[in-house]
Amino acid sequence: MKTVWRLISVLLVLTLWLPIAPVSTVRAHEGTPGVGGTFGAAAAARFSIANSTGSWRGRAHSDGHSRLQESKEVSYIYLPVILNTPYSPYFDDFSDPDSGWFTGSGSGWSAGYLDSEYQIALSANDTYAWGSPEHTLPNNYRLEVDAHMLTTNAGAQGIIFAADLNAETAYMFLLFPQDQAYALVRQNPDFTQTLLEDDDYNPVINTGTTVNHIRVDRIGASIHISVNNVLVLVWDDDTFSGKGLYFGLAATSAQDGPVDARFDNFSACSAHRSNPLFVEDFSISGRWMEADYGWGNFSYQSGEYEILIRNTNSWGFANAPIEGGLPRYAIDVDARITAGEEAMYGINFGQIDDDNFYQFRIYPAEQQYKLFKLTNGIWSDLTAWTVDPAIIDETGANHLRVERDGALIRLYANGTLLTSLSDSAYLSDQELSLFGMSGTEAPIAVRFDNLSYSELP
């Protein structure tokens, strides 16, 4: 069970709020595989906006509202790599109080250097403030900072990026350490704000006063964000891109007391895309669903992730805890049956919610595959059941791959292209999940390993 959040206000000329309610990332069906009832639900985050004006290098704002919201799960490991380019890398450990960051104070807020860190202190509730050194960025870049709170009240801290000089347009990534949550917001030219993506609960986020390492990679239209070296979010948005834009640091307070946000070891450098963006080898537990529902069990088993289904004609899936989506991507995973030779398994992708996604299903006993589409809870066939000798039968491991290149979908097994077709649905915000399915025999157990998510060039 997640906890209900307090109201918070957010910078970039906006007011943001973010609470939580329980949610499951597992769903199962009784009866004919692919048809049945729901065992989980998910909901979009809701934000309230308040406009104000002010200068870029430092500003504070106070306002407030509250609302309820739901939660999700988490994931594992990540990369991108840095290239040597003409852009001169920027680094600041804040040991020099004259290094160029904004310093100042106002009613209920202050920003400046303290104890070789950059501090944003908020003594008033529902207040936010930020600062910048007015240093420009290259076309493609990486921003990193160590961030922690000295207070344990509700609040947020994070990075502003791709901002114009007056902060009238920008993106903002905020971390809410006490609730282990985050949000990515875009400030639009008309002073409205768009919530691009959020996650209400992510255990890779350290709580309390522990340091969180935040990294933002901006590669063309793609945004890749990691926390503590774990990719938590990918997004595609080209609204504000290109060189010559600015970055900053920000903090917000909520309704239950002051916030003392600290930042250290800030860096900015050129970067390029490096795949895979996300890798999960299931060597670290606690990031995927672990639960026993009677009809099925979801667990880590010796460096693999297992889905066990005890009932006949039933299935269940677990979401990969990576949020957001890209229009051109590839998903890879190794899968094998450990119990029940008639078991089926595969990948759900383009997953808008529990009732709208594609399903790449493998039936190893007959060396068959099929692509399904779920639309508002109704299944349709995009291919027929098709035999292909590239699929390893029975309990052998199969390496599955899905490629999504805009509307084009390509399915692979063990390096062999099985089929290629076009379908223009589910091109926006998408997630992915892994599933196991029984037929007339149960129980069945399926194990997954070496899941990866890549951005196609």
Which carries the bigger pLDDT value, residue 57 or residue 245? 245
Whether pLDDT at 395 is above 70: yes
CATH 2.60.120.560 positions along the chain are: 53-61+74-270, 278-455
Whether pLDDT at 73 is above 60: no
Q: How far is CA 31 from the centre of its chain?
A: 33
Average pLDDT over residues 125-147: 94
- Other C-beta atoms within 10 Å of 227: how many? 25
Task: Provide the whole-model pTM.
Answer: 0.71
Specify whether the CB–CB gap between 144 and 228 falls below 8 A.
no
Q: What mean pLDDT is reported for the chain?
A: 82
CATH 2.60.120.560 given to domain 53-61+74-270: yes
Whether pLDDT at 15 is above 50: no
Cis preceding-peptide flag for 86 (omega within 30 of 0): no
Show Cβ contacts of residue 381 under 8 Å, excluding neighbours closer than 6 positions. 370, 371, 372, 373
pLDDT score for 344: 97
For residue 415, what pLDDT band results from cuts at 50, 70 and 90? Answer: very high
Whether pLDDT at 62 is above 50: no
Which of 16-30, 185-199, 414-428 has the lowest average pLDDT?
A: 16-30
> What's the CATH number for 278-455?
2.60.120.560
pLDDT score for 162: 95
Whether pLDDT at 167 is above 90: no
Average pLDDT over residues 28-56: 27
**Strand boundaries in 72-152, DSSP class E:** 77-78, 90-92, 104-106, 109-114, 117-122, 127-131, 141-149
Average pLDDT over residues 265-275: 88
